[in-house]
Amino acid sequence: MRIEVLADPAAVARRAAGVVADVLRATPDAVLGLATGGTMRPVYDELVALQRRGEVDFTRATTLNLDEYAGLAADHPASFAAYMRAALFSRVPVDPARIHLMRGDAPDPQAEARRYEAAITAAGGIGLQLLGIGRNGHIAFNEPGTEASTRTRLAPLAAATQQVNAPAFHPQPVPERALTMGIATILEARRCLLVATGADKAPAVARMVQGPVGPDCPASFLRGHPDVTVLLDPAAARDLAAAAPSG
């Protein structure tokens, strides 16, 4: 696990977008695993800026998103499908046939999970997986208690996660479950790039990097992956022993 502490959240976003752009320049038909959440918004803004300057091209890329709330159709404003359209897919030229999202409102979630795993395999596996981290140490919607062997499935959301995401659904209740790639699915990506900014992520980041590896902090399983880069701002790195700015 390589840790880079950048000067501020904007520098983190620029660096993350730079990694994605490098992958797309080297491999125009790269398979990208994409994440949602507030942390990723400035990363997508940077990628859009790079695309407008002609420095990155998504037209041959395949994308597979990490997760989706159960029960939500793609046109629900709080869906991750809507997030991705607003953050990236409506802003850069992409091939709709190469965009993969889980159908939150699939009538048979188990079948949808199997379909999604098959789509990852058919794409040739994920080359670069973008990840955020939850305040409770989740990655995608793999909440504390999730085992390393898990694959794409319907999973319960922790009460804390429901609380954090409640404003997006107000006055409706937050979904209690989500479709999510599993830990084993994520660990099969050839490379992972986790981005975390802000002091509220500091305890989860410290547990991911320095705590015991196990289901109590699902992000800690990334330590078993051979190629993980973690991009942090100083606030998110605050609880790490011996963290020093690296640029």
User: Which residues are part of the catalytic machinery?
Assistant: 67, 136, 138, 143
Q: Does 233 bind ligand GLP (CB under 6 A)?
A: no
Q: Does 67 bind ligand GLP (CB under 6 A)?
A: yes
Task: Work out how close the CB of 85 gets to ligand GLP at its nearest, in angstroms, rounded to a whole number.
Answer: 17
Identify which of residues 37 and 144 has a Cβ nearer to ligand GLP in the complex.
37
Among 35, 61, 232, 235, binds ligand GLP (CB under 6 A): 35
Q: Does 113 bind ligand GLP (CB under 6 A)?
A: no
Q: What are phi and psi of 223, to 5 degrees?
A: -65, -15
Among 9, 37, 144, 182, binds ligand GLP (CB under 6 A): 37
Among 132, 137, 144, 218, binds ligand GLP (CB under 6 A): 132
Identify which of residues 38 and 77 has a Cβ nearer to ligand GLP in the complex.
38
- Cα–Cα distance measured from residue 69 to residue 74, given in angstroms and rounded to the nearest whole number: 10
Among 39, 62, 136, 220, binds ligand GLP (CB under 6 A): 39
Task: Work out how close the CB of 240 gets to ligand GLP at its nearest, in angstroms, rounded to a whole number.
Answer: 18
For ligand GLP, the binding residues in 135-164 under the rule CB under 6 A are 140-141, 161
Q: Which residues, in sequence order, are bridge partners of residue 178?
A: 69, 155
Task: Work out how close the CB of 66 gets to ligand GLP at its nearest, in angstroms, rounded to a whole number.
Answer: 5
- Cα–Cα distance measured from residue 171 to residue 134, given in angstroms and rounded to the nearest whole number: 23
Choose the stretch contacting ligand GLP; rule: CB under 6 A; options: 1-9, 31-39, 84-92, 226-234: 31-39
- Positions that interact with ligand GLP (CB under 6 A): 35-39, 66-67, 132-134, 140-141, 161
